[in-house]
Structure 1
């Protein structure tokens, strides 16, 4: 008998844990995943409702509807250098993975090659699908959220935007991320409410589709034949396209009057300046003085609302310093 053959150690085999993303359409697996599945001696999945199973079976891959324990799987792989693929379920198959970890950590077991193979990867923005799904469940099952209306939520949208602005002004990145999420929630919540409208329903997909079309239409230098080489060119494209879309008879149309007065003055001044209109009214009193300041600030390239907010924050800090000084002196 050949000594080399008898003394050679048994091949370890291969045990693959195949993960997939529920945010990617079933059947869209990576090429390494398909190669591994087709070459495997055994494919298993504990979740008989796993969305990948119909597509695997359609591709001629037999999938066992149960996953044995860690020791049995290890024994199968070690016997004859065989490959077993476990398609992991949403709960992560912790019993199997814990068992494998114990065996590998004991130092007394000859383990097959263990591999974690991602079968699909999330695309950018994929977590938005989670948000839509969660919002849908909340809308259906939560006693409070299930009866909210657009009117009920209007004040929260304003509050969240102010909190977002404050996070930007503070330069707090963690808070900025959180506040962006709160603003995004308002969009998804309103879209889900709109979906229930009996007369004119629309969904978050309709909302996204509308803004996608608008962005494409207003960037003809990217998605069309036009050219734009400077920020000024882009802005000119945007304004022309927007004017064509809205068919407005006045540059003041579309400016919300409910916004803070200084921001409103700055927006009116911007529209008027762009259109070449000089129509600042003359009048007496602090209101007209503030209006004049806002118009001059906008013409100089300064947003009056932002400038006053920055000054007001400095004013707030000065007040706090004065309070601390007074408290320290016992006054």
Structure 2
């Protein structure tokens, strides 16, 4: 028997080969709850029975855990394997990529903006003091060398980025994806020694050379010689 665990941060239907093999080899597939992942699996031609009953051991059976709930899968596997004759394998059908939890932050901010009166009232102007405050607190934490506190302060600063992006998404024509796409393009453009060394006559190798290259490209963007996006 196998239990498949799926990530809520991966598009429905994007599964590992191990997960697809487990599902296709199963005689019966159960799911603890209906969700987009389960519907994608059904759409692929695999029958899934939704059941709120506790899983019972059965050979050639697959249970799809509630999406993202690895603890549910492990607990069920431990319970079922109390009888040493029962063999249960937990299969991870999809994994979070680095940065995947940023999706959660965006979703939380979306919900707060629509359901929390205070959050819904905020504007770029009303939030401006918080940006300065969070940046200052982050700076002070950097000076203190407290790594755990730094993690927390960076989260507070990141929230301001997501908050302003959410406000802009409503009426200004850009959102958090535009922010991240913009800085990603800028990093690639200003670091050709990493991303396009074949375009350079001389590939910088020292920190001083790399900084000079960055400043040179930045100035070219300002002069209109390169496509810059917005620069600060």
| Alignment match, 1:204 | 176
Query: Do the aligned partners of residues 103 and 214 (structure 1) sit closer, same or farther apart at CA in structure 2, a change above 3 Å counting?
Result: closer
Q: Say whether residues 1:247 and 2:223 are aligned partners.
A: yes
TM-score by length of 2: 0.86
1:52 is paired with a residue whose SS is: helix
The answer to whether the 8 A contact 1:40-1:83 is kept is: yes
Match of 2:22 in 1: 36
Query: 1:174 deviation in Å?
Result: 0.7
Residue aligned with 1:228, SS: coil
- 2-side partners of 1:115 and 1:150: how far apart? 50
- Contact map agreement 1:69 1:96 (CA 8 A) in 2: no
Aligned mates of 2:74, 2:211 — CA distance in 1: 56
Partner residue, 1:186: 160
Asked whether the equivalents of residues 165 and 176 of structure 2 are also in contact (C-alpha less than 8 Å), the reply is yes
Q: Distance in 1 between matches of 2:81 and 2:38?
A: 29
Query: The residue matched to 1:174 in structure 2 has which SS?
Result: helix
Against the structure 1 CA distance between its residues 100 and 216, is the aligned structure 2 distance closer, same or farther, given a 3 Å change threshold?
closer
Q: Structure 1 residue 98: deviation in Å?
A: 6.2
SS in 1 for 2:117: coil
1:231 alignment counterpart: 207
The alpha-carbon deviation at position 130 of structure 1 amounts to 0.4
Q: Larger radius of gyration, structure 1 or 2?
A: 1
Counterpart of 1:129 in structure 2 is 103
Q: Name the CA shift for 1:86/1:193 in 2 (closer, same or farther; >3 Å).
A: same
Say which structure, 1 or 2, has more relative contact order (CA 8 Å, 6+ apart). Answer: 2
1-side partners of 2:136 and 2:88: how far apart?
51
Q: Distance in 2 between matches of 1:96 and 1:174?
A: 30
Aligned pairs, number: 222
Aligned-residue offset at 1:101: 5.0
For 2:90 and 2:193, how far apart are their aligned partners in 1? 44
Q: In the superposition, relative to structure 1, how do residues 99 and 171 fare at CA in structure 2: closer, same or farther (>3 Å)?
A: closer
1:95/1:165 Cα in 2 relative to 1: closer, same or farther (>3 Å)? Answer: closer
Counterparts of 1:88-107 in structure 2 under 5 Å?
88-90=65-67, 92=69, 101=78, 104-105=81-82
Aligned partner of 1:280 in structure 2 is none
The alpha-carbon distance between structure 1 residues 228 and 37, as it changes in their structure 2 partners (threshold 3 A), is same
Structure 1's 19 and 91: CA in aligned 2 closer, same or farther, altered over 3 A?
A: closer
Structure 2 unpaired stretches of 5+: 225-229
Higher mean alpha-carbon deviation, 179-188 vs 224-233, is at 224-233
Contact 1:44/1:67 (<8 A) preserved: no
- Return the offset for 1:220: 1.5
RMSD: 2.5
CA distance in 2, matches of 1:113, 1:186: 48
For the Cα contact (< 8 Å) 2:5–2:67, is it kept in 1?
A: no
Against the structure 1 CA distance between its residues 206 and 98, is the aligned structure 2 distance closer, same or farther, given a 3 Å change threshold?
closer
- C-alpha distance in 2 between matches for 1:215 and 1:154: 26
Deviation at 1:65, TM superposition (A): 2.3
Q: Using a 3 Å threshold, how does the CA distance of structure 1 residues 154 and 229 change in structure 2: closer, same or farther?
A: same
Of the structure 1 ranges 130-139 and 113-122, higher mean CA displacement relative to structure 2 is found in 113-122
| CA shift digits 1:130-163 (9 cap, x unpaired) | 0000011011111101110111111111111111
CA distance in 1 between counterparts of 2:80 and 2:191 reads: 58
Offset of residue 64 of structure 1: 1.3
